[in-house]
């Protein structure tokens, strides 16, 4: 049972007027939501570490000569309670987010005997980005002779062209921005080419 249903049942026993109960719930719901939100925010902020606390913990571990317990990859300025593995995954995810820019990962669609390169759906983009960073044989066959450096260079060029277009307030000043063309026909799923 939801909070508003429970409150309505309690009020129903006392007031016995559904319209009055609806009116009171319209007033109480925002107050309850604000209370819950503040409580959740306070809890999550309490999990964070200040820079001073992280330095103190590092100094304490140095004094005890327990260097193996230090999180060597996590910067001192990070306020989130990360360990080395969480920090590495977070950095990897932030790098992968750049690939989701609109227009960078495209698929070839055929409609009315006309081929058109269009932005892939989000679910396919997720698969593509996972395969780009996959270092196994599966990721290698997906990249199809393109190395990760070439893909990253195409993304950097795409970002430069896109940012330059934004700076001069023009849309599509470059008709041929670099992008990845994914071949997904016939059950195959691999990078067809990097279009520059």
Average pLDDT in the chain: 80
Domain that holds residue 102: 98-195
Residues 40 and 107 grouped into a single domain: no
Residues 116 and 189 grouped into a single domain: yes
Domain presence at residue 147: yes
- Over range 78-94, report the average pLDDT: 77
What is the total count of domains within the chain? 2
Domain presence at residue 126: yes
Domain presence at residue 13: yes
Domain presence at residue 8: yes
pLDDT attached to residue 171: 57
* Torsion angles phi and psi, residue 48, rounded to 5: -75, 155
CA–CA separation, 151 and 105 (whole Å): 11
Q: What is the pTM of this model?
A: 0.57
Q: Which two tokens stand for residue 157?
A: 């060029």
Domain presence at residue 88: no
CA–CA separation, 134 and 144 (whole Å): 13
Residues 121 and 182 grouped into a single domain: yes
Residues 191 and 105 grouped into a single domain: yes
Residues 119 and 191 grouped into a single domain: yes
CA–CA separation, 15 and 113 (whole Å): 69
H-only helix segments in the chain: 3-15, 18-47, 51-63, 84-97, 122-132, 137-143, 148-167
Domain presence at residue 190: yes
- Over range 147-172, report the average pLDDT: 76
Residues 104 and 34 grouped into a single domain: no
Domain presence at residue 149: yes
Return the sign of the alpha-carbon dihedral for residues 65, 70, 73, 74: negative
pLDDT attached to residue 34: 93
Among 32-41, 51-60, 70-79, 175-184, name the most confident range: 32-41
Residues 38 and 103 grouped into a single domain: no
Domain presence at residue 11: yes
Split at pLDDT 50, 70, 90, the class of 31 is very high
């Amino acid at each position: 049972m939801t909070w508003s249903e429970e409150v309505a049942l309690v009020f129903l026993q006392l007031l016995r007027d559904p319209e009055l109960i609806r009116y009171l719930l319209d007033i109480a719901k925002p107050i309850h939501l604000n209370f819950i939100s503040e409580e959740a925010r306070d809890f999550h902020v309490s999990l964070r570490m200040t820079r001073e606390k992280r330095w103190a913990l590092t100094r304490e571990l140095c004094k005890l000569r327990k260097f193996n317990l230090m999180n060597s990859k996590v910067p001192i300025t990070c306020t989130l309670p990360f360990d080395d593995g969480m920090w590495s995954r977070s950095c990897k995810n932030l790098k992968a987010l750049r690939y989701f820019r609109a227009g960078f990962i495209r698929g070839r669609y055929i409609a009315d005997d006309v081929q058109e390169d269009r932005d892939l759906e989000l679910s396919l983009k997720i698969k593509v980005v996972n395969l780009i960073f996959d270092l196994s044989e599966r990721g290698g066959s997906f990249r199809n002779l393109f190395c990760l450096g070439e893909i990253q260079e195409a993304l950097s060029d795409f970002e430069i062209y896109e940012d330059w277009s934004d700076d001069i307030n023009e849309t599509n000043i470059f008709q041929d921005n670099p992008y990845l063309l994914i071949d997904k026909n016939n059950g195959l799923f691999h990078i067809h080419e990097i279009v520059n």
